[in-house]
Structure 1
């Protein structure tokens, strides 16, 4: 069925397959480094306890049993398969080989997400799962990319961008009066090295940025479905706006995977037009096997049916943000920053050996030491740092934060490796406490005078001094 072949989208397929696989590699390696401390047998929210108490979880290999060794086996296997896909090796074989590889990534990572509880409760987890599932049906190098699958990726990009745009317009008034960026760069979860400078751009330029964001999210996505070169131009606009977000903040792999899935609308002809010379980017393909066409059509039909719920959500009065409507994390609803916080508060954990002198624990990504410039970590996801931001907003944390303090009192080595600085060099403190501070960016003059990127003041006590039992 040649009419199902998307000739002229080979570059898009290569970027989709290799890019999504690269994000999976990062996600699995993140699990290797962080999962046991946060959710392992002796973690802050132990998976065995969760499995014993909850029946609301989705499909997971760990329903059989959980152990830290099994988790590491799952994560290392996922990382290895993902890196093979990044190198393009399974794509050199028949279509079923990359299909099985991506379905394995999807199943393994879904097993992790479905027991990850609040530490995996981010929209980009379901986004990665949905993208990985779709990537399984892009075929291999020997056959043309299937048009229905590329259209599903475009539909995913549409939901990502248009859904995020609607969330903003329907949500906080600062998106409607164009003042959102007066606050966002300062109050976003994890600023990066450039965020301070973005915050200090002229306010009229901030309004232009917000207006451009609305255009990119509420208008441009419709043009992704147009014939070439219009579809490529729409994809390019989305990619450029996402790169702007990459420059100004740390949002794990959200922006990067949005860039990757948006390439589904980039045609080889449009790419060749901006490259030097006259490159031929589309190879000759073998006929597509009938079995693969049948699989693609079946998956397309499944996704069309599942898309009813996120499509309805786009036009609902109470639009859901980052919601899954099924147990397999397919055809999800997306969106971010429907409301913007105006003030920044941080939870600072301190310890003491004598109850008199208090020393501060420092995290890798979240603001702490006012004189330390924020660092770049995205697309890597510092899960504990992100949860600390939510904790400062008053979004719970009792289930994991008190266990974190207990680990610090015990000077647990694995937990301390999650931090940037242990002020006691491995020695257990006598007491710990958690204080609330108000943070704001320094001005240009304050930075020159003090060398501090942040100005902070104490607000109150979250957890009073607590001793080891």
Structure 2
């Protein structure tokens, strides 16, 4: 077994997944309490009172509150560092399984109570990939080729699911024009997005064709013998790299790239790097039995996701059980043609007149100030910024509950909420009024962005506004229980 190269593929999977888990728990440390904590924008406690444990299993049904959220997030950071550095391998199979199982349980606990702020497809993807890692075994033991092939099956479902949702979705995937819009309208552009947007139209068309090749053809080759599987994986990794450098998609493409290590030719990589494995012990019989039990479990749970891949009513980014074990994936079936942004502004004037001195709040990642260069964020995830992108969509149809709570928190000068932002224009005292303007954004020339005012997304409001007073009262009752 040690000569087939699976040992180095396992090493790449474990270290890569450790890095992604580290990002996830750092985000939980920095953001979860402000988003879903005791006084967050979408508190988890009222959710847990309404949803039973069996529907959303989480440790936080037993240990509740902001202190528990922080303690589990910090524990996740420490365990992730153990996985990244290889300390989790030091104690053999039992320690390795324990570390990876705890990582999965801890992250599952956040996802299942995170509601809107944790409703992204890459949460389920990390949980599925992280669960399989429990059964990869430590570096000092023989690798389980069966589990590595389960990662190939996962890589296939991610890539092919994304390709199929595009074929059934927007017409621009058929006429090869999606990239004429995508780089400008994607959720979180980075400094290179404008360059990609301004590439010639034939290059954009070639990019769409490459997308179809990577997502609809190459995944089938993941299951063929080497070197075919490895070449297909290399092509998929090149495609994922192009997405990584052209936008900020949190850890979605980074994690997908780690999973796409699984079809690579481990023997070729080992020879290329001139590395050899140390002595490897056989896995304990119980571990081997558990491994094959997981193979049977995944096979049984794959029926619905596999059927969904070829369904005319394909759904994307869906879990079929509360443990997120075998899921369905897909992304960007539709491409937005225009970019809209919500800009929140406040004033301390006595009256919310147009002539009042309005000052804008600046978010960490999403476009706001037209002169500001978009940042590099990924694989870190700015959850509030992403939700602001969804909120600005013309099809949204009304203000989300969390958005109204955000306005209230800014009017209150809530420090926990303000820590999610890049710039607070009212450091000494909160504003009397807040409004939200609705802009159309395009990449600019002299500045990074041009923007055109479309209208008001939210009229000027204060804490005395009748609707806000009602929302705040409901919020306080729910939090108090």
Structure 1 length normalisation: TM-score?
0.95
Alignment correspondent of 1:324:
319
CA offset at residue 96 of structure 1? 2.1
8 Å contact from structure 1 (residues 170, 338) kept in 2: yes
CA offset at residue 234 of structure 1? 1.0
Alignment correspondent of 2:404:
402
8 Å contact from structure 2 (residues 346, 360) kept in 1: yes
Alpha-carbon distance between aligned partners in 1 of 2:428 and 2:288, rounded to the nearest angstrom: 59
Matched, 1:286 2:269: no
**3-state SS of the aligned residue for 2:319?**
coil
CA offset at residue 304 of structure 1? 0.7
Matched, 1:435 2:433: no
**3-state SS of the aligned residue for 2:450?**
strand
8 Å contact from structure 2 (residues 8, 270) kept in 1: no
- Give RMSD over aligned pairs: 1.4
> Which deviates further from its counterpart, 248-257 or 451-460?
451-460
> Which deviates further from its counterpart, 237-246 or 391-400?
391-400
CA offset at residue 41 of structure 1? 0.4
8 Å contact from structure 1 (residues 350, 433) kept in 2: yes
Alpha-carbon distance between aligned partners in 2 of 1:213 and 1:294, rounded to the nearest angstrom: 39
Alignment correspondent of 1:11:
8
Picking from 145, 148, 152, the partner of 2:146 is: 148
Alignment correspondent of 1:48:
45
Picking from 153, 164, 167, the partner of 1:166 is: 164
State how 1:14-93 maps to structure 2 within 5 Å: 14-55=11-52, 57-93=55-91
Alpha-carbon distance between aligned partners in 1 of 2:265 and 2:284, rounded to the nearest angstrom: 24
**3-state SS of the aligned residue for 1:438?**
strand
CA offset at residue 10 of structure 1? 1.7
Picking from 410, 415, 418, the partner of 1:416 is: 418
CA offset at residue 92 of structure 1? 2.6
8 Å contact from structure 2 (residues 6, 145) kept in 1: no
Alpha-carbon distance between aligned partners in 2 of 1:95 and 1:265, rounded to the nearest angstrom: 24
> Which deviates further from its counterpart, 367-376 or 92-101?
92-101
Alpha-carbon distance between aligned partners in 2 of 1:57 and 1:419, rounded to the nearest angstrom: 33
CA offset at residue 54 of structure 1? 2.8
Alignment correspondent of 1:388:
388
- The runs of 4+ residues in structure 1 deviating greater than 4 Å are none
CA offset at residue 272 of structure 1? 3.8
Q: C-alpha offsets along residues 265-323 of structure 1, whole Å, 9 cap, x if unaligned?
A: 12222214544xxx143443222221111111111111110111110110111101000
Alpha-carbon distance between aligned partners in 2 of 1:293 and 1:49, rounded to the nearest angstrom: 42
Alpha-carbon distance between aligned partners in 2 of 1:271 and 1:288, rounded to the nearest angstrom: 24
CA offset at residue 184 of structure 1? 0.2
Task: Name stretches of at least 5 consecutive residues in structure 1 with no aligned partner.
Answer: none
Matched, 1:177 2:179: no
Give the paired residue count.
456
8 Å contact from structure 1 (residues 109, 129) kept in 2: yes
Alpha-carbon distance between aligned partners in 2 of 1:397 and 1:114, rounded to the nearest angstrom: 24
Alignment correspondent of 2:469:
none
Matched, 1:295 2:297: no
8 Å contact from structure 1 (residues 163, 314) kept in 2: yes
Structure 2 length normalisation: TM-score?
0.92
State how 1:339-354 maps to structure 2 within 5 Å: 339-354=334-349
CA offset at residue 426 of structure 1? 3.7
Q: C-alpha offsets along residues 65-116 of structure 1, whole Å, 9 cap, x if unaligned?
A: 4210011111111110110110001213322221111111101110100000
> Which deviates further from its counterpart, 282-291 or 317-326?
282-291
8 Å contact from structure 2 (residues 5, 270) kept in 1: no
Alpha-carbon distance between aligned partners in 2 of 1:454 and 1:413, rounded to the nearest angstrom: 29
Change (3 A) 1:273 1:286: closer
Alpha-carbon distance between aligned partners in 2 of 1:71 and 1:41, rounded to the nearest angstrom: 10
Alpha-carbon distance between aligned partners in 2 of 1:60 and 1:397, rounded to the nearest angstrom: 29
8 Å contact from structure 1 (residues 31, 75) kept in 2: yes
Q: C-alpha offsets along residues 236-265 of structure 1, whole Å, 9 cap, x if unaligned?
A: 111111111010000000011111111111
CA offset at residue 436 of structure 1? 0.7
